[in-house]
């Protein structure tokens, strides 16, 4: 018996597939690592990175937390906030970090 409310789309091997769970986890870990780099920046460097206010506040809070467990939880929060960013926002942060952390060549 055919159910008209359930129309299955034909399989299309060329259609883009959603990312695998492993890929999503790699991306989340990369964003959390990016957040850890933000925490290590000096205040002057941090001002040069385009961050949304909530993420900037979380990074500043993490910098002030000396306890290892609390700091780890704060870094996880930063990772969560990073995952909420648009791709272009994350790319802008990566580009700013690359500029700040690039070795300076003296001429």
The structural domains of the chain, ordered by start, are 21-99 (1.10.60)
pLDDT surpasses 80 at 63: yes
- Tell me the C-alpha distance between 6 and 58, whole Å: 45
Q: Who has greater pLDDT, 102 or 52?
A: 52
pLDDT surpasses 80 at 92: yes
Give the pLDDT confidence score for residue 52 in this predicted structure: 94
pLDDT surpasses 90 at 11: no
Nearest CA-CA partner of 28 in 65, 101, 81: 81
pLDDT surpasses 80 at 39: yes
Q: How far is CA 83 from the centre of its chain?
A: 5
- Tell me the C-alpha distance between 100 and 95, whole Å: 9
Nearest CA-CA partner of 93 in 55, 61, 44, 60: 55
pLDDT surpasses 80 at 46: yes
pLDDT surpasses 90 at 93: yes
- Tell me the C-alpha distance between 74 and 59, whole Å: 8
Give the pLDDT confidence score for residue 91 in this predicted structure: 92
Residue 5 has what DSSP assignment?
Answer: T
- Total H helices, total E strands in the chain: 5, 0
């Amino acid at each position: 018996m055919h159910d008209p409310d359930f129309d299955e789309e034909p399989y299309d091997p060329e259609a883009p597939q959603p990312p695998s769970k492993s890929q999503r986890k790699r991306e989340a870990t990369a964003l959390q690592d990016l957040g850890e780099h933000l925490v290590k920046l000096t205040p002057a460097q941090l001002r040069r990175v385009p961050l949304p206010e909530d993420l900037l506040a979380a990074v500043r809070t993490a910098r002030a937390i000396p306890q290892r467990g609390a700091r780890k939880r704060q870094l996880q929060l930063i990772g969560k906030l990073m995952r909420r960013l648009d791709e272009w926002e994350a790319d802008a942060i990566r580009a700013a970090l690359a500029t700040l952390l690039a070795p300076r060549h003296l001429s």
